[in-house]
Chains A and B, each alone.
Chain A
């Protein structure tokens, strides 16, 4: 477990060094190299841990309580967290290297801040996957949320970035409310936060089943917020306001998959409540389809990828809900690699062209062939083409859903797989093969080696993972033979349609759009969800706040103002009684005494 501690401790140490040592923070490039060095060692240790056979749990008491500690902390290393260690350290390392070139125009102190956040994020994400208790997981869960907020709002002087950061924070916080409520209810029902103890109770059927459905639904809410499931998915497209490497790391490969990881981790508890599992599967499939339709009409290259991420997260959730969480987890890992590849490739394109709009690109294949190859590798993997990584994980998910007997979910996911191939190749054809669009003054060129290196490494990994499964077989999964054919047919269909519409231009875009006018109209407006949330916010929340404000301003303050003004007026009026002449006072005394005498007489004689 010592090497695990090293994996966890190095990013923390690099964060503390960059954050606390001012000269280092002011020199962003040096801070970057500190972070990268820490991540190289951490990656080496993570690989060693993953390949090694050491698995186990270390638990230390944390909060004292009657009869044993109330809460514990520790490290949990198993077959779920070990591959996550490698994924997180690998993508973190590559993104940190890539950022050094991508953000070369940033002022140095600002870059130092960036690397402090990056190191903190790596530490938090590693802590999250290594958590052996729900409580510790929640702490790291919030930490990655904080890092996400800080990095989306990295260019905080841009109002759009600041708004997007807030939106991401609050939307995920809505789910986190459910998460914390769920784990506290779980604790009050069982008296423990520890996964091991909870799963043992689940195995031995001593877990109180009453109220468990509510608890697991609340925990799923947290996962839905983080993993951008409908209806909490609205924050992820906006999160693209952050720097592109951040999107690759946090909003594609690692943090957004934390929700899937949570569901996979809690699987022994979720299987006890089939109703919640069915909900997870259906919401996942619906999210996948919804996001895919939005990706088909989007013209911002990063937003296409963001919708694609939501869609793929829907795939993973659907698998987890359909009783195949290992397939979902497998897709999580492969998706982490090739989606990071796609985002970094998109970053290279944006870097070269200076715009996010795919319709202002075009013909980039001639000037950036390397980036083109890399991007197409990622696209093929995402579309699920044999023998790349995405093919096997997507097939595993479809097989798992089919085996779980959810045919409705299966059909939706199959349709989504078709759309996935379509919208990705749409981007490829418009960006790299479309012709004749002017680029303005920008002169597109291949990115520097610091960006190309991570890209090539991820591309090679995407191919290598795929080949490993193509040669070595699918492990314990034996999907039915027709499934592979179906997957390929769907991918080929999507590719063909995209080629016919945007490559060869056989089919005019209008001809496809017109029959689907309703969906097109809705998808272009994000199904009005943002508008609805905005209306709820402005109408209900702001209205309520205004009402409270009016009550405070006019009723509470008004009452106090009347009291104080009345006192002032009365004082002003009574002031005039004080004439300052002693004789007037004697008048008062004399007539007062007289009055008292009369009164006393009057009382005595009834």
Chain B
């Protein structure tokens, strides 16, 4: 591990200032992803700015009925928060389906969103990888691709984003508050992460000194039902092959509100807008659900090792919508 300077940030503005002007810099919160990358040689910052002591660890109810989640709120604390469990159950479900109890006690909201891909080639510095070393090629293409993308990938990178939390937040229309050298700004969660294109080394739209300070969740429409479901190779402590976060409101048999986030299928948490367009205003029945997910998957480009993800995604989304549209007993 390359030596680095360690600085404790006095406040959010001080954290951004401390992170400005370095070739390689990283914010340290829970460390569960970053320290792993330091050991693997995937990250070699000149300076680590520790933000774990900043007052960004609160969960506050907003006047409009929404929720503001501080960037350093621990995943375990967020999943256990009474308001999250009552009003945003899909968020609690997504968090609880990720990592292990000991990791969730360290990992933070901001860090979870900014965790990097679990692509085995990205994590192995002895192999070419455009995300790790731009221009060296992609070892996954023609290689082991069970966990790789079927939507929005490029000839340069087929990695997937591993977060569960981000998928739920995509379906919740979350807004990410940032502090940078030019001040504060807000980015919709679905625009925080990028598709790989020809710059797969850039996971997000953030500049190196941009600090996530909080994430806002708007209130869910009254009557909406939600769900998070994850398919993986073992029942616990594994990343998603495919996951779905869904919000659905049906009135008199017609879909009046729908938001679908997909995980494990793309370089970013994938918002299924094409499926949503088909669903909105249509009868909430199985035929429509199938047509909707097929519209989304029309653009799917599976690799030799992950063709199963196309029917898996189709079945997962249809079953999620079926469950959410079922009459309450």
A binds B: no
Where the two chains meet, the residues of B that have a C-beta atom closer than 8 Å to any C-beta of A are: none
